[in-house]
Structure formats: structure tokens, C-alpha cells
Amino acid sequence: MKNQREYAIMTKKKGIKMTPEIIDLLFPNPLPTVEEIEAKYPARQLPEGAVVSRLAPSPTGYLHIGNFYQGFLAERLAHQTGGVFFIRVEDTDQKRRVDGAVQVVLRALAHYNVLPDEGPQLDGTDKGAYGPYTQSFRKEIYQAYAKEVVKRGLAYPCFCSAEELDLMRKVQEKQGLRTGYYGKYAKCRNLTDEEILANLRAGKPWILRFKSDGDYDKRIVFEDLLKGKLSLPENNIDHVLIKGDGLPTYHFAHVVDDHLMKTTHVVRGEDWVPSVPLHLQLFALMGWQPPKYAHHALLQKLDNGKRRKISKRYDPEANIEYFAEHGYPQDAVLEYLLNLMNASFEDWRKANPTIPVMDFPLNFNKISNTAGALFDFVKLHSICREVVARMTAEEVYNKTLAWAEKANEKLATLMKTNREKCIAILNIERNIGNKSRKDLTKWEDVENEISYFFEKPSVDAENLKPLSLDEVHQMAAEYAKMYSATDDKDTWFGKIKQLAVKFGFADNMKEYKANPSNYKGSVADVARILRVLITGRTQSPDLFAIMQVMGKGEVQKRLEG
RNA sequence: GACCCUAUCAUCUAACGGUUAGGAUACGGCCCUCUCAAGGCCGGUACACGGGUUCAAAUCCCGUUAGGGUCACCA
């Protein structure tokens, strides 16, 4: 890798020196000097070892779960070291820009408590001293640096049309060559000053290309924080720095912005690995210290037995909003992702069941470095159940209500008008000793867990067997007379046993199993029949607790009906 | 096609030259004075293949195979 000095020498030797006239035509508008710009971006005052990292979303109206994963990882790294995590909006592709997209990203991050220290805010302002944090507002900064590169003779205008480039690529493909603007295919690289001038005066559209001095047969070696030592061919392609609309490409913007914003660590998906040689080359060209890179594996999905990266097009869960919409507990999503980052998370959680997720010490040296994990709903759901089981009934109530207010109006109304009762329902078999029911996965499921308390269930006669409807009525009437809301659990169950005997059922399992033909069934069947009358279901949480919460009046109504 | 990354149970993974290859999820079985859920106990399932190096290899090296990724005026 060459340093700035070597580039300067090289420039002198073989750089094309653009005439001042060309430079004026290329950059007709007044621009700040690079010195002026640099002065606005002083070194950050941070403790030793503090990481400055960022999430750089494109405002497409959609936050991909992979980007969220990346941002979360960057945020952890920054905040665990006392550093800074910021957001930078990469909107240099104006075609893909969608209104309100930044809000989508910010709201998603806020939902998960992954909080940026700097960047655009929901009200449209910027927070932080290293902005603007939206690339389209930084146009003249990129232009100023581009102009500098042109002055040094290391960038040149390219007049090739999209059609020409397309044709070129097809030719290269046909011949089995590497595609790209390099070597003899870099036609505009060797244009004379006169030719450039003529094109510019004729108003021919142009883009600015970097004059690569890389040799594809040589290798560049660098240390990736996650992948270790990586060796790739040098870049010899004259990549685009400034596009036809005057905005930079990702590559140039990345180098300029992360230099100015003092990013120390670039965390991104491993799909970026192939462009690291280019990026390092650009940092060297500018004479800047490159950040450390950390490329993580991509989240994948099984599709017809084949793996592929999670796709916006086919997988609804590729959109981070999916999880909020369906009422996934925030912490469960975070825990699941943390578990993919560090498998030791589970052990930590087991040892520290009550500590907040964000207190997990994410070990950067142990970030999994495999081919990329399959997104696993089964595992996520299991984590959800654990997370919900750890909550108090009131927390579950609050979180569910917050979800329902956006997603299920009917449920929200029901919950608001029956707050205490809902909490009592959600408290059934919760935090008894240190055990809890684990049948709630997401807020979406709550409706089904509480609905039967509020409306009289329909009863399927099939579930009342072996008794006839008449016999059921007799049994229910008998039980209604016996039931007392002040009974403790043992007394309650004792009465069910009495009822069982009275109607020809065995009052304990062992006896029934020993002589099944002597009985209509066991006490379990009696309990089932009562459960069906009261809840409409054959399966439910503890019937004793349900009846207590429901209240004697309602219980009797259901027994009679 | 070129280049890069990866390879341990079905899934996520631990192991950093010496382990009966561990855990979690899922699955199966048993137990648990009412079902379900939970809980307890038990169980099956993995080092992709082939060569080396070494007293010793899941671990290091090479190759094969397989999967993934990248090759834009998109990021």
C-alpha cells in the first residue's frame, strides 16, 4: 500500500495534470478548501480505546434485519468502549430515495433502544458536531476533495455512456475477462487535455473516475477484526468517484465521511469484503488513516433446501418492522441477535436471568465467524417465551397494550377497560417460585389467552363425552352448588373428586387405570368437562386460578348455561 | 468465469494439538395428587471428503467437494 508521499511522487512522474481551465469547467461552483473542511472536523476527545462506529442506512423506507444486526453490533462495540455510535444517511442514490425513510430507521432503532449519539433526529434536525449526517447535504465536501484529487492528476472525467459501458462489459464477459473499467478498457483515462476540453465545451455528460495505480497481480493484505488476515488482489479498476448528478459513489463517500467523522471501526456485512482493496487505496490516496474493518457474516434463510441471504423480496421478516408488527418482545429480538453474535450469550443469560440485555458483555473476539447463520424462528420463539416468562404480569400488560394500540384496536379497548382483570389473568401461573408459564411468545398471542374471560365460550358437545348434555347439566348444577370462591386449592380439588364419585368417575388416576371398566372415567375427565364449560377449551392454564380470576358469578353463569 | 469467505448434531454453536466432542433450540421417552404450558430425569443425532505434519488432529498445512458473497454512474 502506498502512502501519500509515494502517491505525490507518482503523480509528479506520470499523473495527468489537468489544466486550470479543465478544472474550472469540471468544478464551476465555488467550493470550500480542504483545509477549511478539515478544520471543522477536529479529532474527537474520547478515552483510550473508545470506538467510533456507525450505521449507514440508505433511505429506502425499509430497514433490513441485516442492517439492524450490523447497527446493533456497531452500537454495542461503541457503547461498550465509551465511544460514539452515529447514524449517517447514505442517500447518494437519489433514485432509491423514499420520503419518510429516515424516520422508519430512527423509529426502529428507538423501538429496540439501540440509540445513536449523533445523526439525524425525528424532527429533521441533526444532532452532533460532525455533520451534516446526510450525504446529499455534503455534496460540496465531496466535490472539494474530488477537485483536490483532480488537481493532483489522479482523477479524470470519463465521457463513456451507459450503453458503451454495457457493451464493454458484454465484450469482456464474452472473452472471459474480468469486467470493469481498467487497462485498455479505460478509454477516457488517456484523453488529452484538448480532447477533454472539447468534450466539456460540447457539454458532453461526464463522471469522475479515480486513476487506479493498483496491480491486479499484486496482493493487498489487511487485518479484518472478525475474519482475521485477508489477502486480496489490488484494485486496478478506475472506479467512479463522482456520479453524473455530482454526488459521490458509496466508495468515495465512505472514505471522505469516515475520515471526517473520525470513525474508528467500520462494521458491515461481509458482502463488502471485495471492495476493501479499493477503500484502502482511496484512504491512501487521500493520505488518511483508514478505519479498522469488521466484516460480519450475513443472515441467511433456507429456501428449497438451499441457503441464501435473507431477502426483502421473499422474506417478510427481512424487514425489521415485521417483528414490531407481530408483537415480538423487543428484548427477545435483541437476545436472539446477540445469541447469533456470541453463542456464549445463552450461558450468560442462564447465569444472570434478571440483568438487562444491554449489560451483556459482547466479546468482540468471539463474534462468530462462520458461513452465516440461518434465521431460525423456532429459536427466536423459544427466546421470546423465556423473555415473556421473566416479566411481571403488569409488564406484559403494558407491553401488550402498547402493541395493541397500534395493531389491534379491539384488544386495546378491552384491555384498557379491564386493566386489573387483564393483569390478574396474565398473572395466572406467573412467577410461582421461579417458574412461569411459557406459552406466550408475542403480544399477538395475548388476545387468545384472555378472550374467553370476557365472552361466554361456545361449548362443543364432543368435548363433554362420555356424558350426555342432560348429565352435564346435572353435574354442572351440582357443582355450582358446591363451588365456593374462598376454597383453597386442595379443598377445590377435593370437591371435584366428590363430584367425580357422585357421577360414577374414579376420584384418582391409579384406581381408574387399574379398573377402567368400573368407571365412566377419571377425575381428569370431570375436570375436563368443567374446563370446557367454563373456558370452552379442553386445554387451559390452571382451572382453579382461572375460576378465581373469573369470579363466582361468572363461573356459575357458565355452569348453568 | 474471476476473486474472497465458510465448512462440528435438524438449527445456532463450544472446543483455540491430548475431552466419553460440550451447551441451547427442536425431536422422542418417562415422571409430575385436572388438561395444556412449565419443571425434573433419560435418549438419539455431528467433526464434508482425501492427503499430509505430529507421539497425538475437529483443531495446523495442501487438495477436492459443497455452500455463501462480490464483480454498477446501487448501497
What average pLDDT score do residues A526-534 get?
93
Task: Clarify whether residues A374 and A403 are in a common domain.
Answer: no
Q: How far is the CA of A392 from the C1' of B33 (A)?
A: 29
Q: Are A188 and A157 in contact (CB under 8 A)?
A: yes
Q: Is the pLDDT of residue A4 over 60?
A: no
Residue A258 lies in a domain: no
Task: Clarify whether residues A308 and A368 are in a common domain.
Answer: yes
State how far the Cα of A373 lies from the Cα of A307, in Å rounded to an integer: 10
Radius of gyration of chain A from Cα atoms? Answer: 33
Last residue of a domain, one of A338, A359, A389: A389
Residue A88 lies in a domain: no
Q: Which residue has the cell 476533495?
A: A145
Q: Out of A20-29, A201-210, A249-258, A499-508, which region has the weakest mean confidence (pLDDT)?
A: A499-508
Task: Clarify whether residues A385 and A397 are in a common domain.
Answer: no
Residue at minimum CA to C1' distance from nucleotide B13: A343
Each residue of A490-502: pLDDT tens digit? 899 989 998 998 9
Q: How far is the CA of A199 from the C1' of B20 (A)?
A: 77
> Closest nucleotide to A254's CA, by C1' atom?
B75
Q: How far is the CA of A103 from the C1' of B43 (A)?
A: 51
Task: Clarify whether residues A546 and A469 are in a common domain.
Answer: yes
Q: How far is the CA of A324 from the C1' of B66 (A)?
A: 37
Residue A267 lies in a domain: no
Residue at minimum CA to C1' distance from nucleotide B36: A539
State how far the Cα of A35 lies from the Cα of A299, in Å rounded to an integer: 42
**Mean pLDDT of all residues belonging to chain A:** 92
Task: Clarify whether residues A492 and A531 are in a common domain.
Answer: yes
Residue at minimum CA to C1' distance from nucleotide B4: A274
Residue A513 is predicted with a pLDDT of 74
Last residue of a domain, one of A400, A416, A448: A448
Q: Are A167 and A181 in contact (CB under 8 A)?
A: no
Q: Are A472 and A444 in contact (CB under 8 A)?
A: no
Last residue of a domain, one of A389, A408, A435: A389
Q: How far is the CA of A427 from the C1' of B37 (A)?
A: 14
**Nucleotides of strand B lying closer than 7 angstroms to a protein CB:** 1-8, 11-15, 22-26, 33-39, 67-75
pTM, two decimals, is 0.93
Question: Confidence class of residue A9 from pLDDT cuts 50, 70 and 90?
Answer: very low
Task: Clarify whether residues A473 and A486 are in a common domain.
Answer: yes
Q: Is the pLDDT of residue A12 over 80?
A: no
CATH number at residue A466: 1.10.10.350
Q: How far is the CA of A370 from the C1' of B47 (A)?
A: 15
Residue A466 lies in a domain: yes
Number of domains in chain A: 3
Task: Clarify whether residues A556 and A465 are in a common domain.
Answer: yes
> Closest nucleotide to A96's CA, by C1' atom?
B74
What average pLDDT score do residues A140-165 get?
96
State how far the Cα of A218 lies from the Cα of A202, in Å rounded to an integer: 40
In sequence order, what DSSP letters do the residues of A452-477 get, joined into one string? HHHSPPP--GGGGTTS-HHHHHHHHH
Q: Is the pLDDT of residue A154 over 70?
A: yes
- Domain containing A417 equals 392-448
CATH number at residue A315: 1.10.1160.10
Q: How far is the CA of A370 from the C1' of B16 (A)?
A: 15
In sequence order, what DSSP letters do the residues of A125-194 get, joined into one string? -EESSS---BGGGGHHHHHHHHHHHHHTT-EEEE---HHHHHHHHHHHHHTTPPPSS-GGG-GGGG--HH
> Closest nucleotide to A164's CA, by C1' atom?
B73
> Closest nucleotide to A508's CA, by C1' atom?
B33
Residue A490 lies in a domain: yes
> Closest nucleotide to A252's CA, by C1' atom?
B75
Closest of A454, A452, A501 to residue A478, by C-alpha: A501
Question: Confidence class of residue A17 from pLDDT cuts 50, 70 and 90?
Answer: low
Q: Are A51 and A264 in contact (CB under 8 A)?
A: yes
Q: How far is the CA of A468 from the C1' of B3 (A)?
A: 76
State how far the Cα of A454 lies from the Cα of A242, in Å rounded to an integer: 64
Q: Which residue has the cell 430497514?
A: A63
Q: Is the pLDDT of residue A94 over 50?
A: yes
> Closest nucleotide to A379's CA, by C1' atom?
B25
Q: How far is the CA of A435 from the C1' of B40 (A)?
A: 13
Each residue of A337-393: pLDDT tens digit? 999 999 999 999 999 988 999 999 998 888 988 888 999 999 999 999 999 999 999
Residue at minimum CA to C1' distance from nucleotide B66: A306
> Closest nucleotide to A162's CA, by C1' atom?
B73
Q: How far is the CA of A423 from the C1' of B42 (A)?
A: 38
Task: Clarify whether residues A409 and A381 are in a common domain.
Answer: no
> Closest nucleotide to A250's CA, by C1' atom?
B75
Residue A548 lies in a domain: yes
Residue at minimum CA to C1' distance from nucleotide B23: A347
What average pLDDT score do residues A513-522 get?
80
> Closest nucleotide to A497's CA, by C1' atom?
B34
> Closest nucleotide to A228's CA, by C1' atom?
B5
Q: How far is the CA of A424 from the C1' of B30 (A)?
A: 34
Residue at minimum CA to C1' distance from nucleotide B8: A370
Q: How far is the CA of A371 from the C1' of B8 (A)?
A: 13
In sequence order, what DSSP letters do the residues of A475-510 get, joined into one string? HHHHHHHH--TT--HHHHHHHHHHHHHHTT-BSSHH
Each residue of A200-230: pLDDT tens digit? 999 999 999 999 999 999 999 999 999 999 9
> Closest nucleotide to A340's CA, by C1' atom?
B12
Residue A312 is predicted with a pLDDT of 87
What average pLDDT score do residues A306-310 get?
87
Q: How far is the CA of A152 from the C1' of B71 (A)?
A: 28
Q: Is the pLDDT of residue A414 over 70?
A: yes
Q: How many helices (H) and strands (E) does chain A have?
A: 24, 13
Task: Clarify whether residues A444 and A471 are in a common domain.
Answer: no
What average pLDDT score do residues A404-425 get?
96
Each residue of A426-450: pLDDT tens digit? 999 998 767 889 999 999 999 999 9
Task: Clarify whether residues A479 and A555 are in a common domain.
Answer: yes
Task: Clarify whether residues A370 and A427 are in a common domain.
Answer: no
Question: In which element (H, E) is residue A549 found?
Answer: helix A543-550
What average pLDDT score do residues A69-80 get?
96
Q: How far is the CA of A6 from the C1' of B45 (A)?
A: 59
Residue A487 lies in a domain: yes
Residue at minimum CA to C1' distance from nucleotide B73: A243
Question: Confidence class of residue A16 from pLDDT cuts 50, 70 and 90?
Answer: low
Residue at minimum CA to C1' distance from nucleotide B6: A371
Q: How far is the CA of A208 from the C1' of B69 (A)?
A: 28
Task: Clarify whether residues A466 and A509 are in a common domain.
Answer: yes
Residue A372 lies in a domain: yes
